[in-house]
Structure 1
Amino acid sequence: MFGLFNKDPTAKLRKQHAALQEKAMLAQRKGDIKTYSMLTAEAETLWAQIEAAKKS
């Protein structure tokens, strides 16, 4: 019951991850593969942080 008002600690990270994936998709559609790969790599490291925060 006391955890009712606690926010999800990963919510902000998930929002950032979604934004990075969106930017990567748009870069891929424009044909900018270098930017796409950099943004995808950033999104993957952010996802690893989310998974680590979930486990602890």
Structure 2
Amino acid sequence: MFSFLKSDPIKKLDKEYGELLEKAMQAQRSGDIRLYSELTEQAEAVKAKIDEARSA
């Protein structure tokens, strides 16, 4: 009945995924490849959670 009051966890993860990719891109552009790699790895983990949530 009040499902519209609950936040969608996939939306939250999607936003986090986008933010991580944006930070990774900025790190790559500034020449910090190590930080780029770490952020990309984190983004891939979040993407896996998104895919898992969508398939469930």
Global fold match (TM > 0.5) = yes
Query: Which ranges of structure 1 fall in alignment gaps of 5 or more residues?
Result: none
TM-score normalised per structure 1: 0.86
Number of the residue aligned with 2:29:
29
Number of the residue aligned with 1:18:
18
Q: Report 1:1-56 matches (<5 A).
A: 5=4, 7-56=7-56
1:48 Cα deviation after fit:
0.1
Provide Cα deviations, 1:8-51, integer angstroms capped at 9, x if missing partner.
Answer: 43000000000000000000000000000000000000000000
Q: CA RMSD in A?
A: 1.6
Query: Which ranges of structure 2 fall in alignment gaps of 5 or more residues?
Result: none
Runs (4+) of structure 1 moved beyond 2 Å? 4-9
